[in-house]
Chains A and B, each alone.
Chain A
Amino acid sequence: MADAASGSTERSVQVKLVLLGEAAVGKSSIVLRFVSNEFQANKEPTIGAAFLTQKCRLEDRVLRYEIWDTAGQERFHSLAPMYYRNAQAAVVVYDVTKASSLEKAKTWVKELQRQANPNIVIALAGNKIDLVTPSASSSSSTTAESEDEADDATATPGETATSGEPESLRQVPRDEAEAYAQEAGLLFFETSAKTGDGVVEIFTEIAKKIPIDQILASTRGGAGRPGAASGRAAQEGGVNLEENSAKGKDANLRY
């Protein structure tokens, strides 16, 4: 289980995790559920938050996820290569009530396989299952009404599925998506950011697959920031821009 582990002084492994998926499938909401255990219908776009971070405890190991949101740059196919750079994990999200969003997810998976770290752990998450699950089976979900949270201010119009037979809203059969995930070597989940179903599992299952020992070895133990990393000099010979500024000020002029 994920564990906030606040105040913990133990060393943790930093893992850069990127979110991908079509607009309005619930990327930000999944992270919000994971990080704060909250859900906001009609979520406002994420302004001013560069990443969310969350610790995840796994037996004797602690991972610290540095979660990168797209900040809307995926809308017009304008995600920068920097976004994928050194990501050790990716969650590719689609909406189970929208068949085209799975197709889009597949193109993101291809993009990751082309651009990202070859060892990246990819999870495919079919979100919004609260819309297709009979409400009785879902403890905290009272109704299966609209989950029209806007992701990155890009709420897709005409998506406010309201009443009717829940199963009829499903456009992506679980079997089909799962078969694709298996074939492509992805972890697979169906989730509801609204009820919390399946969300924590994504992150704990990813944690199990991350080659932590390898990361520790390559970043010289614990302090490493294998993601694109804040100038904290994770790599050998790296420099931290925020250090040494005082040193520079009274530098000796020498020839």
Chain B
Amino acid sequence: MDEEYDVIVLGTGLTECILSGLLSVEGKKVLHMDRNDYYGGDSASLNLTQLYRKFRPDQAVPTELGRDRDYAVDLIPKFIIASGELTRILVHTDVTRYLEFKQIAGSYVYREGKISKVPSTEMEAVKSPLMGLFEKRRAKKFFEFLQSWKDDDPATHQGIDLDKNTMAQVYEKFGLEPGTQDFIGHAMALYLDDDYKTKPARPAYERIVLYTSSMARYGKSPYIYPLYGLGELPQAFARLSAIYGGTYMLDKPIDEIITDDDGKFVGVRSGSETVKAKQVVGDPSYFGAGKSADGGKVRVVEEGKVIRAICFLKHPIPGTDDSDSAQIIIPQNQVGRRNDIYIAMVSSTHNVCAKDVYVAIVSTIVETDRPEQEIAPGLQLLGPIYDKFISVSSLYTPTSTGESDGVFITRSYDATSHFETVVDDVNHVWKRMLGKDLVLKKRDVEVEA
């Protein structure tokens, strides 16, 4: 470990692995380390042995669940939105060649005690119980307005300024009922709370367009999912990094971030070995997350908590037409909360568990000191739960940008339903590290014999 690197990357979560891959392609000499003996960090997918080791170290894995190797249980519940930025990165870096994807079968929304599918075809829309006949007409006008919007053509604006008018004003103009607003804002724009309503409408407009274009891309839902679990994503980007010369070391405890007298990054220490680099980037757990200041320098701050309950079911979720996968959104208004509750479910169709097992993760942003009670409305929708693993995770954000000390820290995985905020973070960190915007170049490498 005497060599000197351009960048040391700590942690093999998705954010770090995308950065590592892109940095290696850029020509940087990268050393990528993880304290765990598996890839993925907080965004890993674990087999049963690893899952029990993490949550219940004292308990043996029940044999009834089947073969260990059939399992890849995600730690964070997210899907890939088909027309989003992560898809663009996957295609541009050609990392898609290591992965296979399937659609998520449906997205559902909770309303007045039951769940309904977010319509993905005209036929489903006509039959959907989510709106009455007249409301459907009003909603149609609203969507036609969004669809035909052109920034440079005032005739399409119908008197609305997306950068000035609030979303509440847009809803009001089209006379949409509160239930429809919930549906659009939470099941389509995927806002976790209602703060967006009082802000200019453009971001909501963009999110609805992202949702509908993603829905149109493959048909059933706006989401796709990698076979063998989300943990394949960091592995695929790690391979990209390795192919471009990145060095990988798993199972490597990181004991110290070494800085000089001015606080500038020098290197990292693992046991008695020290390795130097110009910059370091890593997830919050390597920079004092969850520790008090006396256990080394703390460079991150907590900005909230998320509760996640990984549930094993022996049946599909009731009301989803026996779907092999689904997202269910419980809008906050429906259950008297400030933040939505999400359910993400996948199954053996996605090669993440044994046959006839379904893995559902119920999650929300913690609002009280009894988080388990907060997810009860979600757990109730699942039917009998074979077993569940509950975790409450802090969301950390760096206290400084890293530009002055060469220490760049990524953000924790948030409660949103897809990876778009992860890509935002990649873009921000890249800009801080390299002083320029990330521009994706198409990779063209296959050696054909």
Which residues of A approach B to under 8 Å, CB–CB? 4, 35-36, 45-55, 71-73, 75-78, 80-83, 85, 115, 153, 228-231, 233-235, 237-239, 241-242, 244-245, 247-249, 251-255
The residue in B103, B224, B242 that gathers the most chain A C-beta atoms within 10 A of its C-beta is B242
The answer on a CB contact under 8 Å between A248 and B217 is: yes
Q: Chain B's nearest CB lies how many Å from the CB of A57?
A: 13
Q: How far is the CA of A180 from the CA of B421 in the complex (A)?
A: 52
Of the candidates B96, B131, B216, the one whose C-beta lies within 8 Å of that of A242 is B96
Of the candidates B140, B238, B248, the one whose C-beta lies within 8 Å of that of A255 is B140
The answer on a CB contact under 8 Å between A82 and B239 is: yes
Of the candidates A80, A83, A237, the one whose C-beta lies within 8 Å of that of B102 is A237
Q: How large is the interface on B (under 10, 10 to 19, 20 to 34, 35 or more residues)?
A: 35 or more
Q: How far is the CA of A45 from the CA of B244 in the complex (A)?
A: 9
Q: How far is the CA of A72 from the CA of B119 in the complex (A)?
A: 47
The answer on a CB contact under 8 Å between B212 and A231 is: no
The answer on a CB contact under 8 Å between A237 and B349 is: yes
Chain B residues, CB < 8 A from A233: 100
Excluding A248-B217, A254-B143, 14 further A-B contacts by CB distance (< 8 Å) are: A47-B245, A49-B447, A50-B445, A53-B449, A75-B247, A76-B249, A82-B232, A83-B239, A233-B100, A242-B91, A242-B96, A253-B208, A254-B122, A255-B130
Chain A residues, CB < 8 A from B236: 82
The answer on a CB contact under 8 Å between A78 and B250 is: yes
Going nearest first, the 9 A-B pairs with the smallest beta carbon separation are: A251-B216, A71-B242, A78-B248, A253-B143, A80-B235, A231-B96, A248-B217, A230-B97, A248-B213
The answer on a CB contact under 8 Å between B97 and A241 is: no
Chain B residues, CB < 8 A from A254: 119, 121-122, 125, 143, 212
The answer on a CB contact under 8 Å between B100 and A78 is: no
The answer on a CB contact under 8 Å between A73 and B446 is: no
Q: How far is the CA of A249 from the CA of B224 in the complex (A)?
A: 17
Per-residue A-contact encoding for B92-120, CB less than 8 Å = 1, 0 else = 00101111111100000000000000010
B147 beta carbon closer than 8 Å to chain A: yes
Per-residue A-contact encoding for B48-87, CB less than 8 Å = 1, 0 else = 0000000000000000000001000000000000110001
Q: Chain A's nearest CB lies how many Å from the CB of B212?
A: 5
Question: Known: A50-B97, A73-B239, A75-B247. Contact between A245 and B217, CB under 8 A?
Answer: yes
B139 beta carbon closer than 8 Å to chain A: yes
